[in-house]
Structure 1
Amino acid sequence: MLSFRAIKTLLPALLGVGFFLLMGAASLSALFRYSEPHSWFGFLQQPYLWRVVRFSLWQALLSSGLSLLLAIPVASCLIHRQFYGRAALLQLFSVSMVVPTIVAILGLVVVYGRAGWFNQLFGVQVPLYGLTGILLAHVFFNMPLAVRLLLQGYDLIPSGQWRQASQLGFSRLAAFRWIEWHYMKKVLPGAFVLIFMLCFSSFAVVLSLGGGPKFSTLEVAIYQALRFDFDLNKASFLALLQVFICTFFAAIVYRIAPVNRQDVSVLRATSYLLKDSLWARFVDFVALGCAFVLVIPPFLAIFEPIFSPLFLDTLLSPALWRAVLVSLQIAIPAALISLLLGVCFSVLARFCVARRYVASLPNKIEHLGNMILMVPGLVIATGLFLTLREVGWGLESSYWVVVWVNAVMALPFVLRALMPVMYQQERRFRNVYLSLGVQAWSRWQLEWPLIRKGVAQAFGYALLLSLGDMGVIALFGSQGLVSLPLYLFQLIGAYRLEEGSCVAVVLITLCLLLFYCATRFIGGRSLAEH
């Protein structure tokens, strides 16, 4: 059982996680108070609903499968090959995971659109609006995420196994079969579930590239029910259906997935040369080529409007800088709250890692933080707004609703950056801490040089995700609450595409600048440079 001293030490973390659960419960309960469950059976008989569910599942499965299928050879290549620009590519992968959705979509349109670069170079028109465009956008976002998650799996491989494989003259294929796959298959289920939930609940991508009702997802249907009809009953039903599908799917995958454990002996895995071959070089070349083609051209396309004569006029627009200020006022508090919540979850999880009576809790705590992806952000925001309205807060609460929902929606990414380093320090130094009586704040002071890179990465992810959000702000945005992504979407909707492209340059530049500052000043020089 937990001692009083342990409870006292964990009290801040328990309060943080408790507040997270309380706000989630209050949000959902407020929404369901306005619903009529007896009418839900009628929704189940609508053919349109099942068409939306089928397409949501189909595009999510395809997007997840393609992202992981491409990420596996790319991750293997990045582990075994050292080449010029490798560190820059990894940093680009980190940014592309959380680049503002509307900006990435604009870059994809410039590259693959009807008058895009791809059509001009090869004379082939890509059907961008529909399933193809949705898959392109999802792979652009999630393939880099899958690569980063698989690289974490490679960090679990003890150096001794690589050394033995090198001494035995293993080829790349033999090493993959007997060493890499054993560790990779432990990471793949969690990565698949995370990417599946991100794609299943996709909003801005489907709204922009769906091309019509035929390619709608449940998240878009929820937005339409709230924004245009303000039908809380239908929105709550759709939200509950989405939570059920995601939970059912995740439960099946985690049930059959092997346990993923950090090797306590691993400090930093040392790579050893394996037997190379022409076939291995060809596979690496093709994998890296696909990664470059998918990720780099949309980034380059985003910066094309810098040479436009309209770019300077856009920079002088007061509306642009008002949107920049609103975005910063939302993103910075949201990132700080998300990081604080992530630390609370991580502290609780690592406390349970080496204690037998709570040894099963770390995975459950991490899954609890990831479950926020199953609940639509629009539903959380609406329920929270209704709760605050019931206690006397009106439209003035919209800002805090947007901040809080952005914070909790970024939490899974924060946990992905924090959890591995927190687990590792617990396993390395727990016995030393116990023998010396080191606890709480003293532990943080000792561990800070070791975990600061993970903290910086987590804060950077939360900052960029909040800066690029277009879901909640699209629902609650008003004349005084227009962020950069919403301002950009309004320009595109008004067919001011050239001006919108200039705003996209400002948004992506702001993202890159803030991400660099977060990793440089929190993570230190090494993280910013590598």
Structure 2
Amino acid sequence: MPQRAKSLANSLPWLARLSPALLGVMIFIFIGAVSLAALLRYSDLSLWPQYLSEAYLWRVIRFSLWQALLSSGLSILVAIPVASCLMHRSFPGRGLLLQLFAVSMVVPTIVAILGIVVVYGRSGWLFQLFGVQVPLYGLFGILIAHVFLNMPLATRLLLQGYGLIPAGQWRQSSQLGLGRWQAFRLIEWHYLKKVLPGAFVLTFMLCFSSFAVVLSLGGGPKSSTLEVAIYQALRFDFDLNKASFLALLQVCICTLFAMLVYRLTPTNRQDMSLLASNRYLLRDSWCAKVSDGVFFTIMLLLVLPPFVAIFDPLFSATFWQTLQSAGLWRAVGVSLKIALPAALLSLLLALCFGVLARHCLGRVGVHWLPDKLEHLSNLILMVPGLVIATGLFLWLRDFGWGLSSGYWVVVWVNAVMALPFVMRALMPTLYQQEKRFRHLYASLGIWGLSRWRLEWPLIRLSLAQAFAYALLLSLGDMGVIAIFGSQGLLSLPLYLFQLIGSYRLEEGACVAVVLISLCILLFYSSLRLIGGKSHAVH
């Protein structure tokens, strides 16, 4: 008993230091739980067997799974050779391409869709130049959009896997004269297979829960997904019972899929001695050059044309007329009013998760907690943001706040929707600093703000990237705002969607230029202001 009391006394200082992080995580869990509880309170469980017997539901589930598997599989298949090429070859514009990948990861979906329509549409560039008609509205269009959005993300995740390879192994493979295929088989694959399952699960969940892409390019009910079905149940029918049923069904499917993949996943651990991996030249061959050239060309054809197409209206007379529209600038103001607090809130939540996770890293009795915290932060990929927003709105309405709470619901849901991306940008650096300097800080008695001041030069770039990702994701969101949007809460993506829906395509294309330009400006401003002068995107 005295031993237990002594152990409790020793743990009290740690609990006091970690109390802000614990509070943040508990608020995250509490709001998520009450949102789902509020939604389930309006549900009638007796009707759920009837929903399960509907043929339409099973058709939606099959299509959701099929398009997500195809989209994530194609993204990974292209990303593997592209990441290998970027790792082993230096060429002019490589840094610019990596920065383009960083931006394309968080480019507003509705803008990406517009660029894809300009390139692949019925009267698009492909038809004008080669006379090729692409069946854009349906599965093929959904796959093009998902690969455009997710292949850069998968590539950057695989490049992180390459960063785990010790420099000594590269040096030894160069000394032995290994070729690209031999190095891939003997060295690279051992590390990539630790990263691939996580990258595949992330891209699968993003494609499975895709909303704007399917809504815009689905082409009808036969190409509908669970996310779109939830939106229809909430927006058009306000059927909370059916929406909650579909949401729980989506959570179950995503959870089972993630458990199945992660069960086969090797443990991914970063070497604490690695700050950067040097590049050593391997034996080259014509086969490696041809392979790199083919996949690099495929990547450029997938990524560059939609980006260029977005800026096509820049020099038109309509663009300058659009800039004079008062509605455009009201929408810009609303988007910034949502995105800035959402990004700050997402970064604060990620720091709460990160501080708690890195304290428990490798400690006896709580060594399992970091992985669980990371999985908890990824739950928003399984639970539709539309459903969380609706449940939170209903819970706030019970307290009499009603429609006035719509803005804060949008801000909160955007913050938690960006949390998985913020965590991926932040956690590797936090773990690395913990492994390298934990014992030094403990021996010198450095804690709290004193530690953060010392670590600031080392983590500020990761913090800048995390904030930039959250800012752009919130700026380009069209899911939650589609439910709560009104004349007083009309964001730039929703304004663009309304223009396209009313067949004002030229004006919509001009608004897309403003939106993507604003995203690029905010992205690099965040990196410069927070990340400092050495703000290159790695």
**Given the two structures, how large is their TM-score scaled by the length of structure 2?**
0.98
In the alignment, is residue 57 of structure 1 matched against residue 65 of structure 2? yes
Question: Deviation of residue 435 (structure 1)?
Answer: 1.2
What residue is the counterpart of 2:4 in the other structure?
none
Post-superposition offset of 1:529: 7.2
1:184 pairs with 2:192: yes
Contact persistence 2:244–2:387 (CA under 8 A): yes
Task: Determine whether 1:308 maps to 2:308.
Answer: no
Output aligned runs, 1:35-46, within 5 Å.
35-46=43-54
Equivalence map 1:302-451=2 (5 Å): 302-451=310-459
Give the aligned partner of residue 84 of structure 2: 76
CA contact (8 A) 2:67 2:143 kept: yes
Question: Cα offset for 1:15?
Answer: 0.4
Can you list the C-alpha shifts for 1:71-128, whole angstroms capped at 9, x where unaligned? 0001011111111110110010011011000000000000111111112222211111
> How far did 1:354 drift?
2.3
Q: Partners in 2 of 1:251 and 1:149 — Cα distance?
A: 20
Contact in 2 for aligned 1:166/1:272 (Cα 8 Å) = yes
Following the alignment from structure 1 to structure 2, what is the Cα–Cα distance between the partners of residues 497 and 357?
59
Structure 2 letter corresponding to 1:61: L
2:155 to 132, 147, 162: 147
Task: Give the distance between the partners of 1:443 and 1:372, measured in 2 at CA.
Answer: 31
Tell me how far 1:161 sits from its aligned partner: 0.4
Report deviation, 1:251.
0.7
What does residue 28 of structure 2 align with? 20
Give 1:307 deviation, angstroms: 1.7
- Asked whether the 8 Å contact 1:354–1:427 carries over to 2, the reply is no
Deviates more, 1:118-127 or 1:197-206: 118-127
- Inter-partner Cα distance in structure 1 for 2:178 and 2:535: 32
Residue 524 (structure 1) aligns with: 532
1:477 aligns with 2:478: no
Partner residue of 2:204? 196
In structure 1, distance between residues paired with 2:496 and 2:537 = 31
Q: Which runs of 4+ in 1 moved over 2 A?
A: none
CA distance in 2, matches of 1:355, 1:248: 29
Q: Structure 1 residues 332 and 188, CA, compared in 2 at 3 Å: closer, same or farther?
A: same
Q: How does 1:132-171 map to 2 (within 5 A)?
A: 132-171=140-179
Contact 1:516 1:528 survives alignment (8 Å): no
Residue pair 2:99, 2:537 contacting (<8 A) in 1 also: no
Partner of 1:293: 301
- Alignment check: 8 A CA contact 2:212 2:479 kept: yes
Structure 2 CA distance for aligned equivalents of residues 172 and 527 of structure 1: 31
Shift of 1:356: 2.3
Shift of 1:472: 0.5
Equivalences for residues 69-108 of structure 1 within 5 A: 69-108=77-116
| Amino acid paired to 2:80 | I
Q: 3-state SS of the aligned residue for 1:221?
A: helix
Given that 1:102 and 1:485 are in contact with CA atoms closer than 8 Å, whether structure 2 keeps it comes out as yes
Distance 1:58 1:529 in 2: 34
Give the gaps of 5 or more residues in structure 2: 1-6
Conserved? CA contact 2:174–2:283, under 8 Å: yes
Checking the alignment, whether the CA contact within 8 Å between 2:102 and 2:537 is kept in structure 1 is no
Q: 2:531 is paired with a residue of what secondary structure?
A: coil
Mapped partners of 1:249, 1:346: distance in 2: 25
Q: Structure 1: how far apart are the matches of 2:298 and 2:530?
A: 33
Give the residue type in structure 1 aligned to 2:259.
A
Q: Partner residue of 2:495?
A: 487
SS in 1 for 2:184: helix
Using the TM superposition, give the Cα deviation of residue 528 of structure 1 relative to its aligned residue in structure 2, in angstroms: 4.2
The equivalences for 1:259-298 within 5 A come to 259-298=267-306
Asked if 1 retains the 8 angstrom alpha-carbon contact of 2:336 and 2:475, the reply is yes
User: How many angstroms does 1:438 deviate by?
Assistant: 1.1
The 1:224/1:529 distance shift into structure 2, 3 A limit, reads closer
AA matched with 1:376: P
Residue of structure 2 in register with 1:48 after alignment: 56
Q: Look up the match of 2:218.
A: 210
| Whole-angstrom CA distance in 2 between matches of 1:11 and 1:344 | 9
2:132 equivalent to 1:110: no
Distance, in Å, in 2 between the alignment partners of 1:526 and 1:91 is 14
Amino acid at match of 1:390: D
- Cα deviations by residue, 1:369-422 (Å, 9 ceiling, x for unpaired): 011110000000000000100011011100000000000000000001001111
SS in 1 for 2:410: helix
Superposed CA RMSD: 0.9
What CA deviation, in whole Å up to 9, does each residue of 1:327-376 have, x standing for no partner?
Answer: 00000000000000011111111111121221111111101101111000
Amino acid at match of 1:197: M
Matched, 1:251 2:259: yes
- What amino acid sits opposite 2:153 in the alignment? L
* In 2: Cα distance, 1:287 partner to 1:15 partner: 47
Aligned position for 2:249: 241
Superposed CA deviations along residues 292-347 of structure 1, whole A, max 9, x for unmatched, are 11111101100001121111110000000000000000000000000000111111
TM-score normalised by structure 1 residue count: 0.99
